[in-house]
A and B are shown apart, each in its own frame.
Chain A
Protein backbone atom coordinates (compact mmCIF):
# COMPACT_ATOMS: atom_id res chain seq x y z
CA UNK A 1 0.00 0.00 0.00
CA UNK A 2 1.17 3.52 -0.78
CA UNK A 3 2.53 5.00 2.43
CA UNK A 4 0.70 8.33 2.03
CA UNK A 5 -2.64 6.56 1.62
CA UNK A 6 -1.85 4.32 4.57
CA UNK A 7 -1.06 7.32 6.74
CA UNK A 8 -4.15 9.16 5.57
CA UNK A 9 -6.48 6.28 6.50
CA UNK A 10 -4.86 5.80 9.91
CA UNK A 11 -4.85 9.50 10.70
CA UNK A 12 -8.46 9.99 9.64
CA UNK A 13 -9.57 7.14 11.86
CA UNK A 14 -7.42 8.39 14.74
CA UNK A 15 -8.64 11.97 14.63
CA UNK A 16 -12.26 11.17 13.90
CA UNK A 17 -12.88 7.59 14.92
CA UNK A 18 -16.31 6.09 14.43
CA UNK A 19 -18.55 5.16 17.34
CA UNK A 20 -16.51 6.87 20.01
CA UNK A 21 -18.55 7.34 23.17
CA UNK A 22 -20.34 4.76 25.28
CA UNK A 23 -24.07 4.49 25.85
CA UNK A 24 -26.09 3.26 28.79
CA UNK A 25 -27.59 0.01 27.57
CA UNK A 26 -27.46 -3.29 29.44
CA UNK A 27 -28.09 -5.36 26.33
CA UNK A 28 -24.46 -4.75 25.24
CA UNK A 29 -21.44 -6.89 26.08
CA UNK A 30 -18.79 -4.80 27.81
CA UNK A 31 -15.07 -4.98 28.46
CA UNK A 32 -12.07 -2.84 29.33
CA UNK A 33 -8.68 -3.37 27.80
CA UNK A 34 -5.91 -1.82 29.81
CA UNK A 35 -2.96 -2.71 27.66
CA UNK A 36 -0.27 -4.34 29.73
CA UNK A 37 2.65 -3.36 27.59
CA UNK A 38 1.75 0.27 27.12
CA UNK A 39 -0.59 2.94 28.39
CA UNK A 40 -3.64 2.49 26.17
CA UNK A 41 -6.84 2.15 28.14
CA UNK A 42 -10.07 1.64 26.19
CA UNK A 43 -13.58 0.59 27.17
CA UNK A 44 -15.57 -1.38 24.62
CA UNK A 45 -19.23 -2.35 24.25
CA UNK A 46 -20.77 -4.57 21.60
CA UNK A 47 -24.33 -5.57 20.72
CA UNK A 48 -24.95 -8.93 19.08
CA UNK A 49 -28.42 -9.96 17.90
CA UNK A 50 -29.29 -13.19 16.09
CA UNK A 51 -25.59 -13.99 15.70
CA UNK A 52 -24.87 -10.68 13.97
CA UNK A 53 -22.79 -7.72 15.22
CA UNK A 54 -25.25 -4.83 15.37
CA UNK A 55 -23.10 -2.24 17.14
CA UNK A 56 -19.63 -1.72 18.65
CA UNK A 57 -18.72 1.39 20.59
CA UNK A 58 -15.60 2.44 22.49
CA UNK A 59 -14.09 5.22 24.58
CA UNK A 60 -10.90 5.99 26.49
CA UNK A 61 -7.34 7.11 25.95
CA UNK A 62 -5.09 5.41 23.45
CA UNK A 63 -2.39 6.06 20.88
CA UNK A 64 -2.90 6.70 17.18
CA UNK A 65 -2.48 3.04 16.25
CA UNK A 66 -4.86 1.60 18.87
CA UNK A 67 -7.52 4.22 18.26
CA UNK A 68 -7.41 4.04 14.49
CA UNK A 69 -7.32 0.24 14.50
CA UNK A 70 -10.39 0.25 16.72
CA UNK A 71 -12.24 2.60 14.38
CA UNK A 72 -11.33 0.66 11.25
CA UNK A 73 -12.16 -2.67 12.86
CA UNK A 74 -15.56 -1.46 14.04
CA UNK A 75 -16.43 -0.45 10.49
CA UNK A 76 -15.22 -3.79 9.19
CA UNK A 77 -17.22 -5.87 11.68
CA UNK A 78 -20.57 -4.08 11.80
CA UNK A 79 -23.32 -6.23 10.28
CA UNK A 80 -21.11 -9.34 10.09
CA UNK A 81 -22.08 -12.78 11.38
CA UNK A 82 -20.02 -14.04 14.31
CA UNK A 83 -18.33 -16.74 12.23
CA UNK A 84 -17.21 -14.10 9.70
CA UNK A 85 -16.04 -11.86 12.52
CA UNK A 86 -13.89 -14.70 13.83
CA UNK A 87 -12.40 -15.23 10.39
CA UNK A 88 -11.52 -11.55 10.08
CA UNK A 89 -10.01 -11.45 13.56
CA UNK A 90 -7.94 -14.57 12.92
CA UNK A 91 -6.54 -13.23 9.66
CA UNK A 92 -5.90 -9.81 11.18
CA UNK A 93 -3.98 -11.40 14.04
CA UNK A 94 -1.93 -13.47 11.60
CA UNK A 95 -1.10 -10.34 9.59
CA UNK A 96 0.07 -8.40 12.67
CA UNK A 97 2.15 -11.36 13.78
CA UNK A 98 3.75 -11.67 10.34
CA UNK A 99 2.18 -15.06 9.50
CA UNK A 100 0.34 -16.15 6.32
CA UNK A 101 -3.07 -14.53 6.04
CA UNK A 102 -5.84 -13.74 3.59
CA UNK A 103 -5.54 -10.04 2.74
CA UNK A 104 -8.71 -10.07 0.68
CA UNK A 105 -11.05 -10.23 3.64
CA UNK A 106 -9.36 -7.49 5.70
CA UNK A 107 -10.21 -4.39 3.63
CA UNK A 108 -8.81 -1.21 5.22
CA UNK A 109 -7.34 -3.24 8.08
CA UNK A 110 -4.54 -3.94 5.61
CA UNK A 111 -3.08 -0.55 6.53
CA UNK A 112 -1.39 -2.35 9.43
CA UNK A 113 0.33 -4.93 7.24
CA UNK A 114 3.76 -3.52 8.09
CA UNK A 115 3.15 -2.91 11.79
CA UNK A 116 5.22 -6.00 12.63
CA UNK A 117 8.25 -3.89 11.79
CA UNK A 118 7.62 -1.95 15.01
CA UNK A 119 7.40 -4.69 17.67
CA UNK A 120 6.33 -2.28 20.42
CA UNK A 121 3.28 -1.26 18.37
CA UNK A 122 1.95 -4.74 17.61
CA UNK A 123 -0.01 -4.74 20.85
CA UNK A 124 -1.48 -1.36 19.97
CA UNK A 125 -2.81 -2.75 16.68
CA UNK A 126 -4.10 -5.86 18.46
CA UNK A 127 -5.93 -3.97 21.21
CA UNK A 128 -9.36 -3.87 19.52
CA UNK A 129 -8.97 -7.53 18.54
CA UNK A 130 -8.21 -8.58 22.11
CA UNK A 131 -11.23 -6.63 23.36
CA UNK A 132 -13.64 -8.05 20.82
CA UNK A 133 -12.35 -11.58 21.37
CA UNK A 134 -12.89 -11.12 25.10
CA UNK A 135 -16.52 -10.11 24.53
CA UNK A 136 -17.11 -12.98 22.07
CA UNK A 137 -15.64 -15.34 24.68
CA UNK A 138 -18.32 -14.18 27.10
CA UNK A 139 -21.09 -15.27 24.72
CA UNK A 140 -19.46 -18.66 24.28
CA UNK A 141 -19.13 -19.07 28.04
CA UNK A 142 -22.79 -18.20 28.42
CA UNK A 143 -23.92 -20.68 25.76
CA UNK A 144 -21.87 -23.43 27.46
CA UNK A 145 -23.63 -22.70 30.73
Chain B
Protein backbone atom coordinates (compact mmCIF):
# COMPACT_ATOMS: atom_id res chain seq x y z
CA UNK B 1 0.00 0.00 0.00
CA UNK B 2 0.96 3.69 -0.42
CA UNK B 3 3.82 2.77 -2.73
CA UNK B 4 3.48 5.97 -4.73
CA UNK B 5 4.53 7.95 -1.66
CA UNK B 6 8.03 6.45 -1.81
CA UNK B 7 10.17 7.65 -4.74
CA UNK B 8 12.74 4.89 -4.11
CA UNK B 9 10.14 2.27 -4.98
CA UNK B 10 9.87 3.68 -8.49
CA UNK B 11 13.15 1.94 -9.25
CA UNK B 12 13.22 -1.80 -9.70
CA UNK B 13 13.97 -2.79 -6.11
CA UNK B 14 12.44 -4.96 -3.43
CA UNK B 15 13.24 -3.26 -0.12
CA UNK B 16 13.25 -5.79 2.72
CA UNK B 17 15.68 -4.10 5.12
CA UNK B 18 13.11 -2.15 7.10
CA UNK B 19 14.45 -3.42 10.41
CA UNK B 20 17.63 -1.47 9.67
CA UNK B 21 15.94 1.65 8.34
CA UNK B 22 12.83 2.41 6.32
CA UNK B 23 12.31 4.35 3.14
CA UNK B 24 11.14 7.95 3.43
CA UNK B 25 7.86 9.21 1.96
CA UNK B 26 7.87 12.45 0.03
CA UNK B 27 5.78 14.23 2.68
CA UNK B 28 8.53 13.77 5.29
CA UNK B 29 11.26 15.10 3.03
CA UNK B 30 8.98 17.99 1.99
CA UNK B 31 8.36 18.95 5.63
CA UNK B 32 12.10 19.04 6.29
CA UNK B 33 12.73 20.97 3.08
CA UNK B 34 10.16 23.57 4.07
CA UNK B 35 12.08 24.14 7.29
CA UNK B 36 15.37 24.45 5.41
CA UNK B 37 14.05 26.53 2.50
CA UNK B 38 11.22 28.57 4.01
CA UNK B 39 11.61 29.03 7.77
CA UNK B 40 15.13 28.13 8.90
CA UNK B 41 15.64 29.46 12.43
CA UNK B 42 16.71 28.19 15.80
CA UNK B 43 14.21 27.23 18.44
CA UNK B 44 13.17 28.76 21.74
CA UNK B 45 14.86 32.10 21.27
CA UNK B 46 13.76 34.05 18.19
CA UNK B 47 10.94 36.61 18.11
CA UNK B 48 10.53 36.76 14.35
CA UNK B 49 7.90 34.99 12.27
CA UNK B 50 10.05 32.16 10.95
CA UNK B 51 11.30 31.32 14.47
CA UNK B 52 7.77 31.35 15.85
CA UNK B 53 6.67 28.95 13.15
CA UNK B 54 9.65 26.66 13.80
CA UNK B 55 8.91 26.66 17.55
CA UNK B 56 5.32 25.69 16.97
CA UNK B 57 6.27 22.85 14.67
CA UNK B 58 9.14 21.60 16.85
CA UNK B 59 7.26 21.57 20.15
CA UNK B 60 4.08 20.44 18.40
CA UNK B 61 5.73 17.11 17.62
CA UNK B 62 5.53 16.27 21.35
CA UNK B 63 1.74 16.38 21.07
CA UNK B 64 1.86 14.16 17.99
CA UNK B 65 4.07 11.62 19.80
CA UNK B 66 1.74 11.82 22.83
CA UNK B 67 -1.27 10.90 20.69
CA UNK B 68 0.71 8.21 18.86
CA UNK B 69 1.88 6.19 21.88
CA UNK B 70 -0.55 7.50 24.51
CA UNK B 71 1.65 9.48 26.83
CA UNK B 72 1.87 12.95 28.33
CA UNK B 73 3.45 15.24 25.67
CA UNK B 74 5.53 16.88 28.40
CA UNK B 75 7.26 13.55 28.94
CA UNK B 76 8.46 13.31 25.33
CA UNK B 77 12.22 13.92 25.10
CA UNK B 78 13.85 14.26 21.69
CA UNK B 79 17.07 12.28 21.34
CA UNK B 80 19.32 11.23 18.48
CA UNK B 81 17.74 7.76 18.40
CA UNK B 82 17.10 4.64 20.43
CA UNK B 83 20.75 4.22 21.37
CA UNK B 84 20.95 7.66 22.91
CA UNK B 85 17.59 7.22 24.63
CA UNK B 86 18.76 4.03 26.34
CA UNK B 87 22.10 5.57 27.30
CA UNK B 88 20.21 8.47 28.89
CA UNK B 89 18.12 6.07 30.93
CA UNK B 90 21.13 4.02 32.02
CA UNK B 91 23.58 6.82 32.78
CA UNK B 92 21.12 9.60 33.63
CA UNK B 93 18.67 7.69 35.78
CA UNK B 94 19.92 4.20 36.68
CA UNK B 95 23.44 5.23 37.61
CA UNK B 96 21.97 7.58 40.17
CA UNK B 97 19.30 5.27 41.54
CA UNK B 98 20.76 1.74 41.45
CA UNK B 99 23.34 0.47 43.89
CA UNK B 100 25.87 -2.37 43.98
CA UNK B 101 24.22 -5.78 43.86
CA UNK B 102 20.95 -4.55 42.28
CA UNK B 103 19.93 -6.79 39.39
CA UNK B 104 18.97 -5.77 35.85
CA UNK B 105 17.26 -8.42 33.72
CA UNK B 106 18.00 -8.51 29.99
CA UNK B 107 17.99 -11.46 27.56
CA UNK B 108 20.38 -12.73 24.94
CA UNK B 109 18.28 -11.65 21.97
CA UNK B 110 18.72 -7.95 22.79
CA UNK B 111 20.40 -5.47 20.46
CA UNK B 112 23.81 -4.08 21.47
CA UNK B 113 22.17 -0.77 22.41
CA UNK B 114 20.20 -2.47 25.17
CA UNK B 115 23.16 -4.52 26.43
CA UNK B 116 26.38 -2.51 26.32
CA UNK B 117 25.19 0.50 28.37
CA UNK B 118 24.12 -1.93 31.11
CA UNK B 119 27.41 -3.85 30.96
CA UNK B 120 29.25 -0.57 31.29
CA UNK B 121 27.10 0.41 34.29
CA UNK B 122 27.85 -2.99 35.80
CA UNK B 123 31.57 -2.13 35.59
CA UNK B 124 31.01 1.33 37.01
CA UNK B 125 28.75 0.68 40.01
CA UNK B 126 28.72 -3.09 40.37
CA UNK B 127 25.10 -3.83 39.48
CA UNK B 128 24.43 -7.38 38.27
CA UNK B 129 23.28 -7.87 34.67
CA UNK B 130 21.36 -11.14 34.25
CA UNK B 131 19.90 -12.79 31.19
CA UNK B 132 16.41 -14.31 31.20
CA UNK B 133 16.49 -17.62 29.25
CA UNK B 134 14.47 -17.76 26.02
CA UNK B 135 11.97 -20.60 25.46
CA UNK B 136 12.34 -23.36 22.83
CA UNK B 137 11.00 -20.99 20.14
CA UNK B 138 13.66 -18.45 21.22
CA UNK B 139 10.94 -16.25 22.69
CA UNK B 140 10.94 -14.28 25.92
CA UNK B 141 7.99 -15.22 28.12
CA UNK B 142 6.58 -13.72 31.31
CA UNK B 143 6.97 -17.14 32.97
CA UNK B 144 10.71 -17.15 32.33
CA UNK B 145 10.97 -13.57 33.50
CA UNK B 146 9.19 -14.47 36.75
CA UNK B 147 11.59 -17.36 37.30
CA UNK B 148 14.57 -15.03 36.88
CA UNK B 149 13.32 -12.28 39.18
CA UNK B 150 14.77 -12.12 42.66
CA UNK B 151 14.42 -9.68 45.52
CA UNK B 152 17.36 -7.82 44.07
CA UNK B 153 15.74 -7.28 40.65
CA UNK B 154 15.27 -3.56 40.13
CA UNK B 155 14.98 -3.24 36.35
CA UNK B 156 13.68 -5.22 33.39
CA UNK B 157 14.82 -3.87 30.04
CA UNK B 158 13.73 -5.50 26.80
CA UNK B 159 12.89 -4.92 23.16
CA UNK B 160 9.15 -5.04 22.51
CA UNK B 161 9.95 -6.79 19.23
CA UNK B 162 13.35 -8.44 18.90
CA UNK B 163 15.28 -7.26 15.87
CA UNK B 164 16.60 -10.64 14.69
CA UNK B 165 13.67 -13.02 15.13
CA UNK B 166 10.85 -10.52 15.41
CA UNK B 167 9.10 -12.13 18.36
CA UNK B 168 6.60 -9.79 20.00
CA UNK B 169 6.95 -9.69 23.77
CA UNK B 170 3.79 -9.36 25.85
CA UNK B 171 4.71 -5.97 27.28
CA UNK B 172 1.25 -5.40 28.74
CA UNK B 173 1.52 -8.42 31.06
CA UNK B 174 5.19 -7.78 31.76
CA UNK B 175 4.46 -4.11 32.56
CA UNK B 176 1.66 -5.12 34.92
CA UNK B 177 3.99 -7.61 36.64
CA UNK B 178 6.74 -4.99 36.95
CA UNK B 179 4.37 -2.49 38.50
CA UNK B 180 3.12 -5.02 41.04
CA UNK B 181 6.67 -5.95 41.97
CA UNK B 182 8.14 -2.43 42.00
CA UNK B 183 10.51 -3.19 39.13
CA UNK B 184 11.40 -0.43 36.68
CA UNK B 185 10.37 -1.35 33.13
CA UNK B 186 12.28 -0.03 30.10
CA UNK B 187 11.00 -0.92 26.64
CA UNK B 188 13.09 -0.61 23.48
CA UNK B 189 10.41 0.14 20.92
CA UNK B 190 12.71 0.52 17.91
CA UNK B 191 11.22 -2.49 16.13
CA UNK B 192 7.65 -2.20 17.42
CA UNK B 193 6.59 1.45 17.50
CA UNK B 194 6.95 1.71 13.67
CA UNK B 195 4.87 -1.43 13.09
CA UNK B 196 2.03 -1.68 15.64
CA UNK B 197 0.09 0.35 18.16
CA UNK B 198 2.06 0.83 21.39
CA UNK B 199 0.37 2.22 24.49
CA UNK B 200 2.84 3.70 26.98
CA UNK B 201 0.27 4.17 29.73
CA UNK B 202 -1.70 0.96 29.34
CA UNK B 203 1.50 -1.13 29.35
CA UNK B 204 2.68 0.62 32.51
CA UNK B 205 6.03 1.40 30.92
CA UNK B 206 8.50 3.50 32.89
CA UNK B 207 10.81 4.36 29.97
CA UNK B 208 10.17 3.87 26.24
CA UNK B 209 12.83 4.43 23.56
CA UNK B 210 12.47 4.50 19.78
CA UNK B 211 14.05 5.90 16.60
CA UNK B 212 12.64 8.07 13.83
CA UNK B 213 14.43 6.53 10.88
CA UNK B 214 12.86 3.09 11.33
CA UNK B 215 9.38 4.60 10.98
CA UNK B 216 9.56 6.64 7.77
CA UNK B 217 11.27 9.51 9.56
CA UNK B 218 14.73 10.99 9.16
CA UNK B 219 17.95 9.67 10.69
CA UNK B 220 19.44 11.43 13.71
CA UNK B 221 16.26 11.76 15.73
CA UNK B 222 14.51 9.54 18.23
CA UNK B 223 12.43 9.74 21.34
CA UNK B 224 12.67 8.88 25.00
CA UNK B 225 9.43 8.85 26.95
CA UNK B 226 9.49 8.47 30.70
CA UNK B 227 7.06 8.77 33.54
CA UNK B 228 7.09 12.39 34.69
CA UNK B 229 8.37 11.66 38.20
CA UNK B 230 11.21 9.53 36.81
CA UNK B 231 12.26 12.13 34.26
CA UNK B 232 12.27 14.75 37.00
CA UNK B 233 14.69 12.56 38.94
CA UNK B 234 16.80 11.81 35.87
CA UNK B 235 20.00 13.79 35.23
CA UNK B 236 20.85 15.06 31.74
CA UNK B 237 23.96 13.55 30.20
CA UNK B 238 24.49 16.69 28.10
CA UNK B 239 24.74 20.21 29.54
CA UNK B 240 24.78 23.51 27.69
CA UNK B 241 22.58 26.10 26.02
CA UNK B 242 18.83 25.90 25.99
CA UNK B 243 18.49 23.56 28.97
CA UNK B 244 19.39 25.94 31.83
CA UNK B 245 17.38 28.67 33.58
CA UNK B 246 20.47 30.48 34.84
CA UNK B 247 24.11 30.05 35.77
CA UNK B 248 26.32 32.44 37.72
CA UNK B 249 29.99 33.06 38.48
CA UNK B 250 29.43 31.70 42.00
CA UNK B 251 28.90 28.27 40.38
CA UNK B 252 25.17 28.26 40.98
CA UNK B 253 22.92 27.16 38.16
CA UNK B 254 19.44 25.85 37.59
CA UNK B 255 18.16 23.55 34.89
CA UNK B 256 14.91 23.97 33.03
CA UNK B 257 12.05 21.54 33.54
CA UNK B 258 11.36 18.21 31.82
CA UNK B 259 11.69 17.68 28.90
CA UNK B 260 13.77 20.75 27.95
CA UNK B 261 16.50 20.00 30.49
CA UNK B 262 17.46 16.98 28.37
CA UNK B 263 17.83 18.91 25.12
CA UNK B 264 21.10 20.84 25.41
CA UNK B 265 22.42 22.65 22.36
CA UNK B 266 20.67 23.13 19.04
CA UNK B 267 18.65 19.96 18.50
CA UNK B 268 18.01 18.27 15.14
CA UNK B 269 15.17 20.66 14.31
CA UNK B 270 14.49 19.56 10.75
CA UNK B 271 14.60 15.94 11.87
CA UNK B 272 12.12 16.48 14.70
CA UNK B 273 9.75 18.18 12.25
CA UNK B 274 10.27 15.27 9.83
CA UNK B 275 9.55 12.78 12.60
CA UNK B 276 6.29 14.53 13.41
CA UNK B 277 5.29 14.36 9.76
CA UNK B 278 6.21 10.67 9.64
CA UNK B 279 4.10 9.85 12.70
CA UNK B 280 1.11 11.70 11.29
CA UNK B 281 1.60 9.84 8.04
CA UNK B 282 1.65 6.47 9.85
CA UNK B 283 -1.41 7.39 11.92
CA UNK B 284 -3.29 8.34 8.76
CA UNK B 285 -2.72 4.80 7.49
CA UNK B 286 -3.46 3.21 10.86
CA UNK B 287 -1.09 1.12 12.97
CA UNK B 288 -3.42 -1.89 13.11
CA UNK B 289 -3.67 -1.85 9.35
CA UNK B 290 0.13 -1.72 9.06
CA UNK B 291 0.61 -4.59 11.50
CA UNK B 292 -2.06 -6.75 9.88
CA UNK B 293 -0.58 -6.16 6.44
CA UNK B 294 2.86 -7.31 7.58
CA UNK B 295 1.40 -10.43 9.20
CA UNK B 296 -0.48 -11.24 5.98
CA UNK B 297 2.73 -10.86 3.97
CA UNK B 298 4.68 -13.07 6.35
CA UNK B 299 2.00 -15.80 6.19
CA UNK B 300 2.02 -15.60 2.42
CA UNK B 301 5.82 -15.87 2.39
CA UNK B 302 5.75 -18.89 4.71
CA UNK B 303 3.18 -20.65 2.52
CA UNK B 304 5.25 -19.96 -0.60
CA UNK B 305 8.56 -21.23 0.76
CA UNK B 306 7.14 -24.59 1.91
CA UNK B 307 8.29 -26.18 -1.32
CA UNK B 308 11.86 -24.86 -1.12
CA UNK B 309 13.82 -27.68 0.52
CA UNK B 310 17.12 -26.00 1.36
CA UNK B 311 15.83 -23.12 3.50
CA UNK B 312 16.36 -23.09 7.25
CA UNK B 313 13.79 -20.80 8.87
CA UNK B 314 14.38 -19.65 12.44
CA UNK B 315 11.17 -17.81 13.28
CA UNK B 316 8.16 -19.39 11.60
CA UNK B 317 5.82 -18.55 14.49
CA UNK B 318 6.69 -14.99 15.41
CA UNK B 319 3.95 -12.41 14.99
CA UNK B 320 5.74 -9.67 13.07
CA UNK B 321 7.03 -8.92 9.59
CA UNK B 322 10.52 -10.25 10.30
CA UNK B 323 11.63 -13.47 8.61
CA UNK B 324 15.03 -14.93 9.54
CA UNK B 325 16.59 -17.72 7.52
CA UNK B 326 19.64 -19.23 5.91
CA UNK B 327 20.09 -21.13 2.68
CA UNK B 328 21.51 -24.49 3.76
CA UNK B 329 25.29 -24.54 3.27
CA UNK B 330 25.52 -20.89 2.24
CA UNK B 331 27.02 -18.14 4.39
CA UNK B 332 24.43 -15.43 5.14
CA UNK B 333 26.44 -12.69 3.47
CA UNK B 334 26.72 -14.70 0.25
CA UNK B 335 22.93 -15.13 0.31
CA UNK B 336 22.36 -11.39 0.65
CA UNK B 337 24.83 -10.66 -2.16
CA UNK B 338 22.96 -13.20 -4.29
CA UNK B 339 19.60 -11.53 -3.58
CA UNK B 340 21.08 -8.14 -4.40
CA UNK B 341 21.70 -9.50 -7.87
CA UNK B 342 17.90 -9.52 -8.25
CA UNK B 343 17.68 -6.07 -6.57
CA UNK B 344 16.23 -7.62 -3.43
CA UNK B 345 17.63 -5.77 -0.42
CA UNK B 346 17.95 -7.82 2.75
CA UNK B 347 20.35 -7.85 5.68
CA UNK B 348 22.87 -10.55 6.59
CA UNK B 349 24.68 -10.85 9.89
CA UNK B 350 24.14 -11.05 13.59
CA UNK B 351 22.08 -7.84 13.49
CA UNK B 352 23.93 -6.42 16.51
CA UNK B 353 22.47 -9.17 18.73
CA UNK B 354 25.78 -10.87 19.23
CA UNK B 355 24.73 -13.02 22.18
CA UNK B 356 21.80 -14.64 20.40
CA UNK B 357 24.20 -17.22 18.96
CA UNK B 358 24.26 -18.83 22.43
CA UNK B 359 20.55 -19.55 22.05
CA UNK B 360 20.05 -20.35 18.36
CA UNK B 361 23.48 -21.94 17.80
CA UNK B 362 24.06 -19.93 14.66
CA UNK B 363 25.90 -16.64 14.44
CA UNK B 364 24.58 -15.17 11.24
CA UNK B 365 21.22 -15.11 9.52
CA UNK B 366 19.59 -13.45 6.55
CA UNK B 367 16.83 -11.12 7.67
CA UNK B 368 13.84 -10.05 5.61
CA UNK B 369 12.03 -7.25 7.43
CA UNK B 370 8.80 -5.99 5.89
CA UNK B 371 6.79 -2.81 6.00
CA UNK B 372 3.42 -1.63 4.76
CA UNK B 373 4.75 -0.68 1.32
CA UNK B 374 5.91 -4.22 0.60
CA UNK B 375 3.45 -6.27 -1.43
CA UNK B 376 2.79 -9.82 -2.64
CA UNK B 377 4.84 -9.18 -5.75
CA UNK B 378 7.88 -8.40 -3.57
CA UNK B 379 7.40 -11.75 -1.84
CA UNK B 380 7.01 -13.55 -5.17
CA UNK B 381 10.31 -12.10 -6.36
CA UNK B 382 12.07 -13.21 -3.19
CA UNK B 383 10.57 -16.69 -3.36
CA UNK B 384 11.54 -17.07 -6.99
CA UNK B 385 15.14 -16.10 -6.24
CA UNK B 386 15.31 -18.47 -3.28
CA UNK B 387 13.75 -21.31 -5.27
CA UNK B 388 16.46 -20.94 -7.91
CA UNK B 389 19.37 -20.60 -5.55
CA UNK B 390 21.18 -23.68 -6.83
CA UNK B 391 22.90 -21.18 -9.13
CA UNK B 392 23.96 -19.00 -6.24
CA UNK B 393 27.71 -19.35 -6.70
CA UNK B 394 27.48 -18.69 -10.43
CA UNK B 395 26.06 -15.33 -9.43
CA UNK B 396 28.05 -14.34 -6.36
CA UNK B 397 31.46 -15.54 -7.59
Contacts and interface: CB of A to CB of B under 8 A. Distances in A.
B353 to A, nearest CB: 12
Contacts of A64: 331, 334, 393, 396-397
B350 A39 contact: yes
A14 B348 CA distance: 19
B136 to A, nearest CB: 24
A11 B364 contact: no
Contact of B394 (A7, A38, A120, A121): A7
A40 B363 CA distance: 10
Interface residues of B, number: 14
A7 B349 contact: no
A10 interface: yes
Interface in A30-66: 38-41, 61-65
Interface string B299-340: 000000000000000000000000000000001111001000
A7 B363 contact: no
A10 B397 contact: yes
A6 interface: yes
B393 A63 contact: no
Interface string A49-92: 00000000000011111010000000000000000000000000
A120 B349 CA distance: 14
A111 to B, nearest CB: 9
A121 B340 CA distance: 13
Which one of A7, A62, A64 has the highest number of Cβ atoms from chain B below 10 Å of its Cβ?
Answer: A64
B397 A6 contact: yes
Query: Which of A6, A10, A39, A121: most chain B CB closer than 10 A?
Result: A39
Contact of B333 (A10, A11, A14, A38): A38
B258 to A, nearest CB: 39
Given A61-B363, A61-B364, A39 B397 contact: no
B51 to A, nearest CB: 43
A38 B364 CA distance: 11
B333 A7 contact: no
Nearest to A65: B397
Contact of B348 (A6, A10, A39): A39
Contact of B393 (A11, A61, A67): A11
A121 B331 CA distance: 14
Contacts of B397: 6-7, 10-11, 64-65
13 contacts: A7-B394, A7-B397, A38-B333, A38-B349, A39-B333, A39-B349, A39-B350, A61-B363, A63-B333, A64-B331, A64-B393, A64-B396, A65-B397
Query: Which 8 residue pairs are nearest across A and B when measured between Cβ atoms?
Result: A39-B349, A63-B333, A63-B331, A7-B397, A10-B397, A64-B334, A63-B334, A39-B364
